[in-house]
Every structure is written in structure tokens, then in C-alpha cells.
Structure 1
Amino acid sequence: DYHVNVGYAIRTLREELPVLFHRDLSYQIYREDISFRDPVNCFHGLGNYKFIVQVLRLNGRMLFKSIWVEILSVWQPSESTIVIRWSVRGIPRVPWEARGLFDGVSEYKLDSKGKIYEHKVHNVIFNSPPKCKVATTVSDLVAAT
């Protein structure tokens, strides 16, 4: 039963995280008392976890006209842990904003039945494009080429 649940959790995460901003997750892989931690927040309970996902989806849709999650790698450093390295990319709704790019790692802890009881997000990096100097003269334009 444990290995079946772990396999189901890995498959579910691989399938659902890329479309996180477009449809709700199925929550069968999580325990009712799941805890969520990131560098700023800590929440407990499946109801709060669902709320966090809904707020994330809403903010993503408000700020970006197109947003998606790319799974970069999935591994199991131990029997009771699933680690996913991901990248969130988005095209902003306003043309003067730079494209959004966030990289991070999600670590999921599994109980003895293979259900997720903890989700930690860490190593989140916002990768903004390099700033460009505004050309104010013709010599600035020539120097830039």
C-alpha cells in the first residue's frame, strides 16, 4: 500500500504541478493535517493548503496573461521524501513588466502510508532579466552596438 501511494503521489505531482495555475489539484495524496512551509509562511491543515493554492492561482491569473510551471527534476533522496525542482514562468499582463521567472524546490514528506504530511518550499529565486541602460543620445546607441 505504501509504495502504491508513493507512486501515485509522484505521478499526481508530475501531472498536476505543470497546470497548477489552470485547474485545481486533487488532494487525495495529502493528509488532513498537512503543513506547508516556505521562507515567509507556515500553515497547517488541508483546508489552509487548499486556500494557499487558490490564492496562488488567483494571483498568477491576475498578474500574468500566461503562466505555467515546468518540472525540472523529480527525485527521492529517501523513502519518505519526494523532491521536485521547478520553474514558474509567466508573461505579464502589462507590457512594461519583465517576464516572470521563479525557480525553486518543493520537498514533500511522506508518512508510513505514503501520504504527504509536509510540503516545504525553499531555494526560491526570482530571475529577472538584466536591466538595460536607456539610450539618451546617438552616441549611447552607437556604444551599445
Structure 2
Amino acid sequence: MTAQPLLSPLPSSLAFQHVQRPAKVLVGGSTLGRLRTERYKSPWQTMLEQSGGSNPLELSTSGRESPLFHLYSLSFDTEQDNRMRQQQEFYLNYGRALRVLREDIPRFFKGAPDTSIFTEDVVFLDHIGPRIGMIFTTVKGRKAYSQHIWLLRFHSSLIFSRCEVEVQRIWERDSRTVAVRWKLRCFPRLLDRSLVNLDGISEYKFNDRGLIYEHTVDIINWDDSRSKKPAQRQLQHSLSTLAC
């Protein structure tokens, strides 16, 4: 069965083009400029020759691949390469973010965290405040996020002699969400104040590039070693100072 062309044969006027190009040749040791008529092949002519002189757009039933098949194949390979590069970028950034979180969370109150694992418009959501009778806190932007963390460390240093954070568990909720279970112990500067213990969880959501675009923090349980009410007032005062 003979293949039917999808389009009409290519006009011969498009197959070849005649142009005049300036060319320099050496004659007797000197360089002379003259015009030379060059007959070059257009892309369509190249495709015609590769297809045996037939229309390069027609379907072939002989098992011979048409030039456009290679073009489509090249486009498909390019898309695959792009997907592979995106996946590689995601897993590289994702793995690095996990390492940074594992290192930064325990020293949260000792130094500034590495914010390069976050997007420029990262959103921080604090669910601890409403659970202890305070307002819900939202911070947007990497710069504002860094300032919020700095204020938290600063005010904590005024109220507590030291704060310790222990990472208890890190797991994946899904392919783009990581949860971290942590325990916080704060030692007050005043002797009549009780030790504050707090169990919390942080949730990090990743975008297609493997960067964190949302950080949510919530409280699981909190208590003190002596009496609960003084610790509650102390914690509320600390967080209210930070919110200001």
C-alpha cells in the first residue's frame, strides 16, 4: 500500500536558493575581494534528500523513518532531559534541606539557621499561639522569616538562661511534606520560675525545586517540672513579647 503524502510536494523554488556572498581568495600572495555565486542547500532540500526525494512530511510505510520523525524524537528527548534535570534538582535540594534541618534545629537558639533551603516567599504559620490563648502568627518572606527567628532567639535569651531543642523524629508525610517532632526545654533565669518543657512538631512543604515554601509549627504537649500555672504564664509572656 503506497503512503499518501500529508502535504503537496514541496515547490522546487524552496529547495534551492541562489545568493551572492563576498569571498576572499589568495592570488599571487595578495588578498583580493570578489563576489562568488554560491549554490547552497536549504533545510527543506536537505530533508528532501534524506527522505529520498519525497515529501519529508508524508508518512512512510516502508519502515524508513522520515526526517520529521527525528525532529519529534529530538523534541521528546529534550522534554525527557528537562524532566530528568528537574528531578535531579529536586532531590539534590530536598536532600540538602533535610541535612540542614537535622543540623539547624538542635542549635536553633545558638545561631542563625541556613535560610537558603527556603523560597523567597516562604510562609511561616504559628499554631502554638492560639492553643495558649494568643493570636495566630503568620510571617511571609525569607527576610521576615529570618527576622522572626532572630527576635525569638533574642527574647528567649532575656527570659531563659538557656534553651535546648532535641530532634526526636523526622519523617515524610508525603513526597513533598516533611514533619519533625522536637522537644524544647527552657531554663529560666529566675530561680522561682519553673522549668518549661514543650513537645512540638514542625511541618515543611517543598515545591518542585525541592525548596521549602511553607513552615508550620504546632504544639503537641507542654508542661513544667514544678507547677503548671507559673510555667504557663511564663510561656505566654515569652510568646507575647515575641509577637510584639
Alpha-carbon displacement from aligned partner over 1:93-113 (angstroms, at most 9, x marks no partner): 000101111111100000001
**For the Cα contact (< 8 Å) 2:182–2:199, is it kept in 1?**
yes
Alignment correspondent of 1:140? none
2:107 aligned to which of 19, 26, 33: 19
| CA distance in structure 2 between the partners assigned to 1:72 and 1:59 by the alignment | 25
1:9-88 to 2 correspondence within 5 Å?
9-39=97-127, 40-88=136-184
Distance 2:125 2:206 in 1: 15
Corresponding position: 1:102 with 2:198? yes
Please report the TM-score for the alignment, with normalisation by the length of structure 1. Answer: 0.86
Using the aligned pairs only, state the percent identity: 30
Higher relative strand content: 1
What corresponds to 1:138 in structure 2? Answer: none
Shift, 1:92, TM fit: 0.8
Q: Which has the larger share of helix?
A: 2
Relative distance call for 1:129 and 1:105 in structure 2 (3 A) is same
Q: Deviations over 1:104-128 (max 9, x none)?
A: 1100000001000000111343312
Which residue identity does 1:117 align to in structure 2?
Answer: Y
Structure 1 outlier segments of 4+, above 3 Å: none
**Between Structure 1 and Structure 2, how many residues are aligned?**
132
Give 1:130 shift: 4.6
Amino acid at match of 1:73: R
Mapped partners of 1:91, 1:129: distance in 2:
11
User: Where do 5+ consecutive residues of structure 1 fail to align?
Assistant: 133-145
CA RMSD of aligned residues (A): 1.4
Mapped to 1, the partners of 2:196 and 2:208 lie a distance apart of 38
Higher relative contact order (CA 8 A, sep 6+): 1
AA at the equivalent of 2:123: S
Larger radius of gyration: 2
- Greater CA drift, 120-129 or 106-115: 120-129
- Shift in CA distance, 102/52, structure 1 to aligned 2, threshold 3 Å: same
* Alpha-carbon distance, 1:131 to partner: 3.1
- After the TM superposition, which of the residue ranges 98-107 and 119-128 deviates more from structure 2? 119-128
TM-superposition CA deviations, 1:64-99 (whole Å, max 9, x none): 112111001000121101100111111110001011
Within 1, Cα distance between the matches of 2:221 and 2:144? Answer: 24
| Residues 22-69 of structure 1: per-residue CA shift (max 9 Å, x gap) | 110111100000000012211111111011100111122111112111
User: Gaps spanning 5+ residues in structure 2: where?
Assistant: 1-88, 128-135, 229-244
**Contact preservation (8 Å) 2:204, 2:212:** yes
